[in-house]
Structure 1
């Protein structure tokens, strides 16, 4: 629910909870149905649950603190698509080495190591495949996946189309060329840009094929303004983990927030 009030001539926006995804009204959600300030649980909410884990993704779905759930994708040497952010296993799992060096059988032996700073009790678990996440969460909420390996795009498209999720899954990349390929495949294309890239970007050039422009909240005011005025319908800021940074992004015109702390931000009013 979103409530707007006018105080001394200035709009003050107070968010009590995000809008409830449409599946709870009996229909599968689509990106078109997203309204108001949209919150995305980045890597499932990596400050509140083990990042890119099935338990974390399901927790984000269950709590409804975010309308969109984000995860990262990598490709194994046999073409299997799996959920992990880094190119190596070192930081978040009990193994070491390149993700790309594994096959499907070896992947099943990997276990995620929950960060000790997380609140609550989280057990080590097998990191999921992309297919498993689409099967568990697809049709229940809007999803956002980052294609870390551009070569995986045809396989990602196949998995998304097979489940009839083309209107409820954003496919994210840092490359305008990859975003254009995703668009031509009939997918919803998301393009993320760093603060450094945004200094020279001309985002209006991408409005014909980018459904969601994902901008670095640390960018200069003028660069964020240029993104908001680009004609791209959705301009969401990443990765925003404090109310103060969220409020600035919204004040400058962003209409979505990508965060590792969805519970914190959705429970803190916007000022």
Structure 2
């Protein structure tokens, strides 16, 4: 059974700081919150885009709520680069799906970004208000050193800038840098970052994950992949193998049974309040 409780959190909206009552999931993480990749538990839960079935994706209010709920060890968000090099939090290459604006993200500069407002999804539980999507620096400053973060470098040319932001804050062991590109993962490793490589079910059919064992810290596999492909990843020698995007207890049980040691989920509250029967097969 999912337990809900009311929680009031500060949210930065159109007119500055606002008070907003949302639904919080209980219980929090057992044993406290890991502060580095090295201190992560044997089975890891990641709030994908903050937990996109429970909070507004890639928003400061959503990440803040996910952090306060404590139902995942890692907060995940996506990154894009504006035309002036500013690094911002956004999944899509365009503004159309998640904001009131339209057009390519990369056509904006920092000044224009300040005028963008996220459009809350009506189906989300709780009350959410329009707000400016954050910059990467703002998210790192808010949560860096307080929890492990995972960011996906959607624009490969942004990797140097991301590395500078992470290094300047002393967060190289507490931020995972994710990409779908093996070449980007290899370059992130050379830059001294903790590397994560995600792969689709189709890619996994022909992948040779053992080739990445020396420079990929986390292999992030599509939960819809065949059992044989997931098992090959688990046995590849990559230190950690996680599955995305796992939103039901049934899918979680399958990937844990096959040996994955982490799940990336849009519904961390649901999974946190539904005990897992499996502890992984590795």
Q: CA RMSD in A?
A: 1.0
Aligned 1:126-141 pairs, distance under 5 A: 126-141=132-147
**SS at the partner of 2:149?**
strand
**Structure 1 stretches lacking a partner, 5+ long:** 1-15, 24-28
TM-score (norm 1): 0.91
Where does residue 99 of structure 1 map in the other structure?
105
Q: In the alignment, which of 151, 157, 166 is matched to residue 160 of structure 1?
A: 166
**SS at the partner of 1:39?**
strand
Deviations 1:155-193 (A, max 9, x none): 000000000000000000001100000000000010000
**CA–CA separation in structure 2 for the residues paired with 1:35 and 1:127:** 31
Deviations 1:1-21 (A, max 9, x none): xxxxxxxxxxxxxxx864444
How many Å apart are 1:89 and its aligned residue?
A: 0.2
Aligned: 1:121 with 2:127: yes
Q: In the alignment, which of 84, 87, 91 is matched to residue 90 of structure 2?
A: 84
**SS at the partner of 2:184?**
helix
**Structure 2 stretches lacking a partner, 5+ long:** 1-26, 278-282
**SS at the partner of 1:179?**
helix
Aligned 1:240-251 pairs, distance under 5 A: 240-251=246-257
Q: Do 1:42 and 1:258's aligned partners in 2 also have CA atoms closer than 8 Å? A: yes
Where does residue 218 of structure 1 map in the other structure?
224
Aligned 1:28-67 pairs, distance under 5 A: 29-67=35-73
Q: Do 2:116 and 2:132's aligned partners in 1 also have CA atoms closer than 8 Å? A: yes
Where does residue 17 of structure 2 map in the other structure?
none
**CA–CA separation in structure 2 for the residues paired with 1:21 and 1:77:** 40
Deviations 1:131-164 (A, max 9, x none): 0000000000000000000000000000000000
Q: Do 1:203 and 1:230's aligned partners in 2 also have CA atoms closer than 8 Å? A: yes
How many Å apart are 1:221 and its aligned residue?
A: 0.2
**SS at the partner of 2:188?**
helix
Q: Do 2:28 and 2:69's aligned partners in 1 also have CA atoms closer than 8 Å? A: no
Aligned: 1:206 with 2:212: yes
Where does residue 169 of structure 1 map in the other structure?
175
Q: 1:20 to 1:122 in 2, by over 3 A?
A: farther
Deviations 1:102-122 (A, max 9, x none): 000000000001111101000
Q: In the alignment, which of 138, 144, 151 is matched to residue 145 of structure 1?
A: 151
Aligned: 1:252 with 2:258: yes
**SS at the partner of 1:111?**
coil
TM-score (norm 2): 0.87
**CA–CA separation in structure 2 for the residues paired with 1:19 and 1:33:** 14
Where does residue 193 of structure 2 map in the other structure?
187
**SS at the partner of 1:95?**
coil
**SS at the partner of 2:210?**
helix
